[in-house]
Every structure is written in structure tokens, then in C-alpha cells.
Amino acid sequence: CPLGFGHYNAVDVCILETVIIVLLTFLIIAGNLTVIFVFHCAPLLHHYTTSYFIQTMAYADLFVGVSCLVPTLSLLHYPTGVHESLTCQVFGYIISVLKSVSMACLACISVDRYLAITKPLSYNQLVTPCRLRICITLIWIYSCLIFLPSFFGWGKPGYHGDIFEWCATSWLTNAYFTGFIVCLLYAPAAFVICFTYFHIFKICRQHTKEINDRRARFPAHEVDAAGDAGHGPDRRYAMVLFRITSVFYVLWLPYIIYFLLESSRVLENPALSFLTTWLAISNSFCNCVIYSLSNSVFRLGLRRLSETICSSC
């Protein structure tokens, strides 16, 4: 079990950690499998170009859940047959790459919604299925490359290895590598998201003001027609994606802060490392929950999938 929780009640702590990780692993796999099946069964969802990125995130989060089977088996003392240091490095690298893909997809989604609202007439020419596939491929390549230096001894890729003792005691973070990751991944993604959503909601607010002004001048049916031709659907869909993005950064912010503090040798607490790490990983389940609760088309697809399963049973 992770070190640093104290020697008292060690068995209870191990049981609690095992329950948390097993439960998260099950929820992440089940939730994202549901999202993937719903997207395949609901053709209306494919009308949104962001569905490419949502599905990419779902697959990345599904692989996070599958990867979490490694520490789950480790806590259950199931022999993996692989050297602990190699297991730790590969697991840390895979988790970091997958979450980098999610972070980059969220940034690309914000850019997509920004283009949909600011350039509605030329949007279909700018954002094509071919360009979306190229963008997703580049996201995967970039995410794989940015964490590769960790295999050559230049710090941890970001995962604090509480589950594996070798990770906690022998694989140390490096301030320069952490700065490298922050400058090339965390900071650009956060800046793009803040910039695009700020302008999206600014434009939507201006549009709402214009509708209110028209409502004071013209009959109601003319205003309603103008409002229907406006940014209503785009704004609602942007709000759904904004919730997903907000929850992502709320859950990942404690992890990023601790990662920076540990790399600078300001703070080192294995208990805090465990909590922030698995709080961040829990986001892989939260994405599908938020999307299913916020998107009416997704809920309709989920209902049809449930009816199909129930009728077949």
C-alpha cells in the first residue's frame, strides 16, 4: 500500500485504497463503454463536429480505466510477472499520455465551438471531417512524444507512483521536466480554453442583448424568428462542453499544484499524492456523467440503447 499514511490502521487504509481504485476502475470502464455505444447508436450525435473529439476522449478515458487494472491487481497482490520499475514507468507514461489526449481534445473542442459561433458562414469549409481526423492524429502523436523524455531519466511524466513502492522511493520528479510539461501542455491548453470560452460567452451575451432590444421594437414573432436563426443551439452546446471542461480542471488542479510543489521539493506527502492522483483520474468517469445529464440528444440515444438491451433480454 502507499506509504505515508502512518503505521496505524494499515490494514484499514489498504482496504480503503483498494475499494477506491477498484470502484473507480469499474465506473470508468462501464461509463465510457456506455458513451461509445451511445455514439454508435445515436446518428444525431454525429451531426456535431465535436463528436469526433468527444469519442476520442471516451476512448482515451476507457483506456485509462483499463490501465487502472494494473494498480488494482497490484493492490490485490495478483502477480503481474513484470519487473516493478518497468510496470511503474509504463503505467505512468500511458496514464499521462491518455490524460494529455483528453486535455488537448478539450482545447480543440473550445476552438471548434469558437469557430462555429464567430464564423458560422465559413465554418463548414474550415472544419471538415478530414481535418478533424488529422487533428486527432496529431493530438495522439504529440501526447506520445511529449512524455517520452521520462523514459530517459528526465523526471516523472506526472503520475505519482503511490501504488508501486519503486515509483514512490526511486522515481523522483524533476523541476525542469515539470516546467517543460507545464509550458508545452498544461499552460497552452488552459490559455486556449480560457480565451475561446471568454469570447464565446461574450458573443452570446451580446446576441441576447440584441434579441432583447428587438423585442422592445418589433412584434414577438419576428423576434422569435431572429432568435431561432441565432446562436441558441450553439450556446447551449457550448455550455455543455464548458461544464465538462470546468469539471476537468477542478479535478486536475489539485494534482497539477501538488505535481509542481513536489517537483520543486516544497512538499512531499504520499497520502496527498494518492488523493490528488486518483481525484484527477476520477475525471475519466465524470465526463460521461456530465455529458449524459446535459445533452438531450445523448439522453435520447441512451434511452434507445437501454430499450434495445432490455428488449433483447
256 lies in which domain range? 15-215+230-308
pLDDT tens-digit profile of 23-52? 888 888 988 888 888 877 766 566 667 778
Q: How far apart are CA 215 and CA 6, in angstroms?
A: 65
Examine residue 79 and state whether it is found in any structural domain, yes or no: yes
Say if residues 109 and 56 touch (Cβ distance below 8 Å): no
Residue 9 placed within a domain: no
Name the pTM for this structure.
Answer: 0.78
Show the DSSP H helices in 119-231 as ranges. 123-126, 129-146, 165-169, 175-181, 187-217, 220-228
Torsion sign across C-alpha atoms 80, 86, 91, 92? positive
Q: What is the pLDDT of residues 97-138, one digit of tens each?
A: 988 898 898 889 889 888 888 888 888 888 888 999 999 999
Residue 87 has pLDDT above 70, yes or no: yes
**Please, what is the Cα angle at 173 between 167 and 174, to 5 degrees?**
150
| Contact criterion met (CB below 8 Å) for 107 and 114 | no
Q: Is residue 30 part of a domain?
A: yes
Residue 207 resides in a domain: yes
Residue 95 counted as domain residue: yes
Domain count for the chain, please give it. Answer: 1
Answer whether residue 3 is part of any domain: no
Cβ-Cβ contacts under 8 Å for 206 (sequence gap 6 or more): none
Is 41 among the domain residues? yes
Q: Within a domain: residue 7? A: no
- Provide mean pLDDT across the span 226-250: 66
pLDDT of residue 6 exceeding 60: no
Q: 57: domain CATH number?
A: 1.20.1070.10
Band (pLDDT 50/70/90 cuts) for residue 223 is very low
